[in-house]
Amino acid sequence: MKRREWVWGWALILPALTFIFLFTHFPAVMTVINSFWSTPRGRRPARFVGLENYERLINDPTFWKVLTNNLWYALGTIPLSIGLALLMAVFVNRPFRGRALARMSFFTPTVLPLIAVANIWLFFYTPGFGLIDQILGVFGVGATNLLGQGGTALPAIMAVAIWKEAGFFMIFYLAALQAIPPQLSEAARIEGAGRWTIFRRITFPLLMPTTLFVSINAVINAFRLVDHIFILTGGGPDNASSLLLFYIYETSFRYWDTSFGATLTVVLLGLLCLLAIGQFFLFDRKVHYK
């Protein structure tokens, strides 16, 4: 009887396990294996090259360029989008006329596909007659090419990501805010706490689980979402706006250097694992779970 029970258990999770192994674990392991082999081409089959790919990676200036870009991208987008999300959530959590409209408009960027978002922003950024240049034109500033210049291409891409992500994170904060009983802030008010004190000492600490969840998502997205780069800059100029995943795509599928692509992917995977684990340890002491 006991034995049949565990057979049933395994049978029930088998479909899910099959898919997770087939599409998550197997590719991950294959990526690691591939990174130790050369790229097979035509009549030349793949051969074991050991750490050669990793050596090449360390000496690849483009890799370091896109990694630095990605770190700046993460540093710029994560705190800003989370802060903006919290601000918007607090704003639309209190009653006012047109609240539903405000919530909807904050959330709209999330519903749109990133490709569509990028196309909208392409119009904003268009030199000469884009929205941004038209507004700048009123103040007498001439045409700009934000996406075409090395110094501004990455910030321009970051702005799109923040715009896209903040609304998504806002929903989580809004849900968390509504789960906080209003009596808590009433009790704090009677005890002489002002709005800022209530936020700092009550609301924000109670939002910590949400902040943890949102920040892990934000970190993953900072390395994962590169769709808009295809539309806006194509990684240029001179890799100024290229990110790690975009570089992996270019290496693997445009230059068909799959083993070097696998090596880059291993680095990305390792980085993400490290960040996620680190975040859990960092936040764990400060997060109050109910």
Residue selected from 135, 189, 270, 282 as contacting another protein according to rule CB under 8 A: 189
Residue selected from 186, 270, 278, 280 as contacting another protein according to rule CB under 8 A: 186
Q: How many residues does the chain have?
A: 290
95 binds another protein (CB under 8 A): no
SS (H, E, C) 39-100: CCECCECCCECCCHHHHHHHCCHHHHHHHHHHHHHHHHHHHHHHHHHHHHHHHHHCCCCCHH
Are 123 and 130 in contact by the 8 Å Cβ rule? The answer is yes
Minimum CB distance to another protein, residue 195 (Å):
11
Window of 1-9, 78-86, 180-188, 269-277 that interacts with another protein by CB under 8 A: 180-188
Minimum CB distance to another protein, residue 220 (Å):
26
Residue selected from 61, 142, 190, 254 as contacting another protein according to rule CB under 8 A: 190
Q: Residue 261 and residue 259: Cα distance in Å, rounded?
A: 5
| Backbone phi and psi for residue 47, each to the nearest 5 degrees, phi listed first | -125, 155
Q: Residue 183 and residue 202: Cα distance in Å, rounded?
A: 11
H helix and E strand count, the chain: 15, 0
Minimum CB distance to another protein, residue 188 (Å):
7
Minimum CB distance to another protein, residue 175 (Å):
17
193 binds another protein (CB under 8 A): yes
Report 206-245 residues binding another protein (CB under 8 A): 206, 208
Crossing angle of helices 150-179 and 99-111, in 10° steps, is 130
183 binds another protein (CB under 8 A): yes
Minimum CB distance to another protein, residue 94 (Å):
15
192 binds another protein (CB under 8 A): yes
The site for another protein (CB under 8 A) is made up of 181, 183-184, 186-193, 197, 201-202, 205-206, 208, 288, 290
